[in-house]
């Protein structure tokens, strides 16, 4: 990052990776780096274990799906799910690209024109003293706007309602506008399923430029 950004994610490493996952990280990951020249692309920020990324790859076979995730075990889980027993990416997932780091570093590297940007269940950082770690502040939303196609949209989902309201307040400080969102069909990511036991339905925000 050009200036030292505040860290918005928890851990980078979880439990030790299997030998296969280590191998996939070494052999496959370098070959599927995002490239801003590949037009017609979709971005997912903080893809976790990549369930929704895989849905996107299948739903939009003619588009490039780029995912950013600094949590190594999440990246390894996605690689493991998209590769066959010969460590080759399955044909239906050939349109996936992975940025295994903070998405803000990707935006420093190149300018994109995404058709859609997804952010599902961003870390809510609920304690007041951690509020500055929230990713979806006005500056970041403006950065997303700069990397969005003029007809593109940003889709944000969270089951943390206080964060939801906070994001809408941040949107007011940007040029983005919020659209009605109740018709969106969203897959239930693993994080959301985990959370369903003790929270209510997620709410979605759809943003675009007027």
Sheet of 114-120, strands arranged across: 96-99, 64-68, 41-45, 114-120, 148-158, 203-209, 176-179
Q: Per-residue string for binding with ligand SAM, 48-77, x by CB under 6 A?
A: x-------------------xxxx--x---
Which one among 56, 57, 79, 103 touches ligand SAM, defined by CB under 6 A? Answer: 103
Report the distance separating Cα 65 and Cα 116, nearest Å: 10
Name the strand (E) or helix (H) holding 67: strand 64-68
Backbone angles phi, psi at 63, to 5 degrees: -115, 160
Q: Is 165 a catalytic residue?
A: no
Q: Per-residue string for binding with ligand SAM, 188-207, x by CB under 6 A?
A: -xxxx---------------
**Any contact of residue 123 with ligand SAM (CB under 6 A)?**
yes
**Any contact of residue 152 with ligand SAM (CB under 6 A)?**
no
b or e along 73-106 (b: 16 or more beta carbons within 10 Å of the residue's beta carbon)?
bbbbbbbbebbeeeeebeeebebbbbbbebbbeb
Q: Per-residue string for binding with ligand SAM, 20-39, x by CB under 6 A?
A: --------------------
Residue with nearest beta carbon to ligand SAM = 46
**Any contact of residue 104 with ligand SAM (CB under 6 A)?**
yes
User: Is the Cβ of residue 110 or residue 177 nearer to ligand SAM in the bound state?
Assistant: 110
**Any contact of residue 9 with ligand SAM (CB under 6 A)?**
yes
- The number of C-alpha atoms within 13 Å of 138 and in the hemisphere containing its C-beta is 7
**Any contact of residue 102 with ligand SAM (CB under 6 A)?**
yes
Judging by DSSP bridges, how do beta strands 96-99 and 203-209 pair with one another?
unpaired
User: Is the Cβ of residue 71 or residue 114 nearer to ligand SAM in the bound state?
Assistant: 71
Report the distance separating Cα 22 and Cα 73, nearest Å: 10
Interacting residues toward ligand SAM by CB under 6 A? 8-9, 45-48, 68-71, 74, 102-104, 120-123, 135, 189-192
């Amino acid at each position: 990052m050009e200036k030292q950004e505040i860290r918005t994610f928890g851990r980078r490493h979880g439990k030790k990776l299997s030998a296969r996952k280590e191998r996939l990280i070494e052999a496959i990951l370098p070959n599927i780096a995002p490239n801003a020249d590949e037009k017609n692309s979709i971005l997912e920020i903080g893809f976790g274990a990549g369930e929704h990324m895989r849905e996107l790859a299948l739903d939009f076979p003619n588009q490039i799906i780029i995912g950013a995730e600094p949590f190594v075990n999440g990246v390894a889980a996605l690689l493991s799910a998209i590769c066959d027993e010969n460590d080759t990416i399955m044909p239906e997932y050939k349109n996936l690209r992975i940025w295994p780091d903070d998405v803000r570093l990707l935006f420093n590297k190149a300018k994109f024109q995404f058709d859609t940007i997804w952010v599902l269940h961003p870390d809510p950082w609920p304690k007041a003293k951690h509020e500055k770690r929230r990713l979806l502040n006005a500056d970041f939303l403006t950065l997303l706007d700069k990397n969005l196609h003029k007809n593109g949209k940003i889709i944000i989902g969270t089951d943390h309602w206080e964060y939801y309201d906070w994001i809408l307040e941040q949107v007011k400080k940007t040029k983005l506008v919020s659209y009605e969102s109740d018709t969106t069909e969203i897959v239930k990511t693993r994080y959301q399923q985990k959370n369903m036991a003790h929270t209510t339905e997620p709410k979605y925000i759809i943003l675009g430029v007027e």
